[in-house]
Amino acid sequence: MAKFILNKKTTISQYNKLKEISDDIVYSFKTNPEVGKVLEENTNCKFAIHTLESLDKIKDKKRVWFFLQAINEEEIEFLINKVYGFVIDNEADLLVLLNCLKDKKINLALRMKLKEHTIHKTNLLGIHFHRKTQNVSEWNLKYELEESLTKETLNLIDFINIGGGIPWNYRNYNVNVLPEVFNKIKELKSWFKGKIFIEPGRFIAAPSVRLETEIKSIDNNNITIDCSIFNAAMDTFILNVRLLIENELEEGTDYTIKGITPDSLDIFRYKVKLNNPKVKDKLIFLDAGAYNFSTDFCSLKKLETIVIFKNMIRVFQAAKKNNQYDEFLHKIQQEKMKELWDNKEDEAWENV
């Protein structure tokens, strides 16, 4: 049965890459909540949360930047002593928030032009500017801020949050701009006197997760697998990304990879070269962690996410090589194995 495999080691590694060039990381939880859980347990990461329902999934609410959108006073009263700070992008919501503060002070990020004299009840005050997802060109950050904000405003704010947009590689997105993106962030950090926050989603989530599927049928070079883009790869719709497949070829026979529903849009890849695939073979989609939420289209079930821990990686690879992959996945899902995952060294797994 199709499933997601989340590599905890990769998640933490991606987080650390961004931590080196910023003062704080604010993970966009909507990108992949399962990746968010790994970050909460293993890092000091903060979280960008957009709904009260998502807030329930975070244990430590004091690590949350909550995005206020068309919110009422009752909801603000509920949130105000729970979360770390608020992000607002319009004046109407800002006025509702300020009316609720009374003698309280908050951390506030504004996604709007700042009126210097209007906001007094803050501990930290900053600017949040949003980068569109898979943004590969709009990275002249220092220039943008110099053009849009006065020196007086820049002197008033404590931080700048670069809102998302750090790109990642897909079959139809060959991203070779990451070194330049990182250099522009470093340039901004050297220039701005306050703190620099980065709000990644895709950059951390995508490479952390693989989608493991099984071939159900092959008909005239059309391969149907045991899941759908509607419950495994909604990013295909959101951004038209096409996931890379493990061991796909540069030359050879072309195949179309179709999802399990009859919908004509349920296509993972229109053209991919594979080495003589057969029914029941596994197809592994890489970088499958961003916006892989499930829908209820055709009553599809939400796919399970299995977290692979650092001490399991070598055994995981060996099991796959020795055709014991399914047996191994079954074992690691048993509750009694969890203590081993965290506390034993690699040698403890030699005879698993």
Tell whether 330 is covered by a domain.
Answer: no
Return the CA Rg of the chain.
23
Hunting for tokens 């060109």 — which residue is that?
137
Same domain, 249 and 156: no
Contacts of residue 315, Cβ cutoff 8 Å, sequence gap at least 6: 328, 346, 349, 350, 352
What is the distance between the alpha carbons of residues 335 and 129, in angstroms, rounded to a whole number?
43
Out of 237-251, 256-270, 307-321, give the one with best mean pLDDT: 256-270
349 within 8 A of 315, measured Cβ to Cβ = yes
Q: Count Cα atoms within 13 angstroms, Cβ side, for 120.
A: 5
Same domain, 282 and 154: no
216 vs 137, higher pLDDT: 216
pLDDT, position 301:
95
Last residue of a domain, one of 144, 176, 205: 205
Same domain, 19 and 100: yes
What is the distance between the alpha carbons of residues 319 and 91, in angstroms, rounded to a whole number?
56
Contacts of residue 324, Cβ cutoff 8 Å, sequence gap at least 6: none
Same domain, 156 and 262: no
* 78 membership: H or E segment, kind and range: helix 73-79
Same domain, 190 and 227: no
310 vs 230, higher pLDDT: 230
- Burial (Cβ within 10 Å: 0-12, 13-18, ≥19) of residue 229: buried
Same domain, 134 and 254: no
Tell whether 345 is covered by a domain.
Answer: no
Beta strand 209-219 pairing with 282-285: antiparallel
Tell whether 242 is covered by a domain.
Answer: yes
323 vs 146, higher pLDDT: 146
Beta strand 195-198 pairing with 159-163: parallel
Tell whether 352 is covered by a domain.
Answer: no
Same domain, 141 and 42: yes
Beta strand 85-88 pairing with 106-110: parallel
352: confidence class by pLDDT, cuts 50, 70, 90: very low
pLDDT, position 21:
94
Same domain, 68 and 81: yes
Say whether pLDDT at 223 is over 50. Answer: yes
Mean of pLDDT over the chain: 86
Full domain range(s) for residue 251: 208-304
Same domain, 48 and 172: yes
For residue 139, give the CATH number of its domain. 3.20.20.10
- Distance (Å) of CA 5 to CA 10, 64, 304, 307: 11, 26, 9, 6
pLDDT, position 336:
41
For residue 268, give the CATH number of its domain. 2.40.37.10
The one-letter amino acid code at 212 reads E
Tell whether 312 is covered by a domain.
Answer: no
Q: Which of 13, 19, 146, 161 is nearest to 85 (CA)?
A: 161
Q: What count of other Cβ atoms lies within 10 Å of the Cβ of residue 216?
A: 14
Write the pLDDT tens digit of every residue in 98-129.
888 888 889 999 885 545 445 556 788 888 88
Quote the tokens at residue 82.
């729970």
Write the pLDDT tens digit of every residue in 21-72.
999 999 999 999 999 999 999 999 999 999 999 999 999 999 999 999 898 9
Last residue of a domain, one of 205, 220, 246: 205
Tell whether 332 is covered by a domain.
Answer: no
Say whether pLDDT at 193 is over 60. Answer: yes
Hunting for tokens 């693989």 — which residue is that?
210
